[in-house]
Every structure is written in C-alpha cells, then in structure tokens.
Amino acid sequence: MDYLAIIVITFISGVVGTGLGGVIGAVLRRESNKIVSLLLSFAAGIMLAVVCFDLMSEPIEMMKDGVLPSYTPFIVVAAVICGYAVVYLLNYAIDKRTDREVKHIDANHPATADDLDELIHSNHYETHKKEKSNLFVAGLVMMTAIALHNLPEGMVIGASYATVENLTADLFSGTGFIMAIVIGLHNIPEGMAVSVPLITGGMSKGKATFLTALSGLPTVLGALLGYALGGINDIMLVLSLGFASGAMLYVVFGELLPESILMWKSKLPAMSLFVGVLVGFLLVMF
C-alpha cells in the first residue's frame, strides 16, 4: 500500500507535471522568459530550504537522539558529494552528446563549389530546414536530460517519505509532500522546454506532449528506489537522504539558478530565490 501511494504521488509530480508543461508548450509554442525565470528561482529557493533545513538535518537529529553514531555528519557529507557528482557526470555526458549531435547535423549539410548556385537560390529554405532539424534534436536531447534528472529528483521524494512512520496517514503532509509539489511545479517549465523545440522541429503536438510526459516517468522509479533504500536501516536512510540532497543541490546550483539568471538578467530572480527559501523554511517548520 505504501509503495502504491509513492507511485501515485510521484506520477502526479513527475509525469503529470512534465506533461502539463508539454501541453502548455504545445498550446502557446513559446514561453515567457521572465515568468519561467521567477518560477525556476522560486522553486530553487524552496528546494534549497528543504534540503538544508530538513533532509540534511534529519540524520543530525537522529544522531543527537542516540540512534546514529557520532560520525554521522561525515557520512552525510560523503553521500551529498556522491549525489552531486553523479548528477554532474550525467550532465557532462549529456553535454557531450549534444555537441556530437550538432556536429552530425552540420556534417549532413556540406556545401561544395558545385552546389554554390543552388545554395544561393535555396538559401532560405535550407536554412529553415536546418534550423528545424537542430530544434528537433535539441528537443530530444532535452527530453533525455530531463528524464535522467528526474531519477534523482524522485529519490528526494522517496527518501523524504522513508522518514515517515505512517505513510498512509501522512502522505499529504511533511517534507515528502512538499518536495513532490515543488518538483511538480518546476517540471512544468521543463516540459515546455521539451515540447516547444519538438513541435517546432516538426513533431505533432500530441506525440510531442506524450513523449514530454514520458520523460517524467523516471521520477516514479527514483522515488521507489529512494523509499526502498531508506527503509532498509538507519545508515541506508542517511545515505539515501544525503545522496538525494546532493543531487538536488546540483539541480539548484548547476541548473535552476544559472538558467533563471540567463533567462532574465535582473535582480528579481535573486529576490524570488530569497522568497522561495523563506517559504521553504516555513513549510518545513510547520
């Protein structure tokens, strides 16, 4: 029953959240950089607060209660570094893949001296065709990236619920539920980022939205993994919480904040982050 509850919550957060972003992208075919920037930075603030004030502090409270050994903080730090490093390496692999795809596209459109006259007369068509091809590949790469990122994000939800004694009664309260909501909200602009280039690149709206929603499915797998590992014993719970915290810290500092600042070069994203941290703190405390 507990695993079914985890599946339902993370399905809504991952698949429905990302799919909703895909629908919005299909309808609007564009996105407001300012709104998305504020949404990303606000979500980053809440995530940061939850990680620092709850996920990473939970093992310390257990240590103070005598449940865990005195060297628990070092285990937490090691697990956080591991989680951060794993997501960093995933992003590095995705970036390398993107570079290869772009080079492959360029190699498929060589320009020779014999084709010069034809290229001059059909320059606009070829440019448009190449742009659409680039956008389509960018959408596929983005979809893969988000699918990979959703796995550790799901672990955050699962590991948070692993600390709950009565999951059925407390399913809609506590840190796990907060993280499910926040991750679901931040999946909306991610879904837009996938569907818009896919549709612009030539894919039908229905298929693009369906594939976008599927990219949120690893959230469910990650949540089940985090919940299962966290329920083995206290040390595994510490490792799960630490790993999930490190993964989320990379998402915050390596993706959400840089992206929000690049989308809108203003001081308002920083203000939105500040508000998000305060809201996250209040959510954790109450």
- Which of the two residues, 127 and 208, has the higher pLDDT score? 208
| Lowest mean pLDDT across 30-39, 58-67, 194-203, 240-249 | 30-39
The count of domains in the chain is: 1
Residue 50 has pLDDT above 80, yes or no: yes
- Amino acid (1-letter code) at residue 248: M
> What is the reported pLDDT for 31?
57
> What is the reported pLDDT for 113?
47
> What is the reported pLDDT for 187?
87
Under the banding of pLDDT at 50, 70 and 90, the label for residue 15 is very high
Q: What is the mean pLDDT of residues 15-24?
A: 91
Structural domain containing residue 191? 2-285
> What is the reported pLDDT for 103?
58
Task: Enter the pTM of the model.
Answer: 0.71
| Lowest mean pLDDT across 54-58, 169-173, 183-187, 269-273 | 169-173
- DSSP secondary structure letters along 198-250: HHHTT--HHHHHHHHHHTTTHHHHHHHHHHHHHTT-HHHHHHHHHHHHHHHHH
Under the banding of pLDDT at 50, 70 and 90, the label for residue 220 is very high
Q: Which two tokens stand for residue 259?
A: 């992206």
| Lowest mean pLDDT across 70-79, 147-156, 206-215, 236-245 | 147-156
Q: What is the mean pLDDT of residues 210-219?
A: 92
Query: Average model confidence (pLDDT) for the chain?
Result: 81
Provide, rounded to the nearest whole percent, the portion of the chain with pLDDT above 90: 25
Q: Rg (Cα) of the chain, in Å, rounded?
A: 21
Cα atoms in the 13 Å half-sphere on the side-chain side of 141: 20
- Report the number of secondary-structure helices (H) and strands (E) in the chain: 13, 0
> What is the reported pLDDT for 67?
87
Residue 145 has pLDDT above 90, yes or no: no
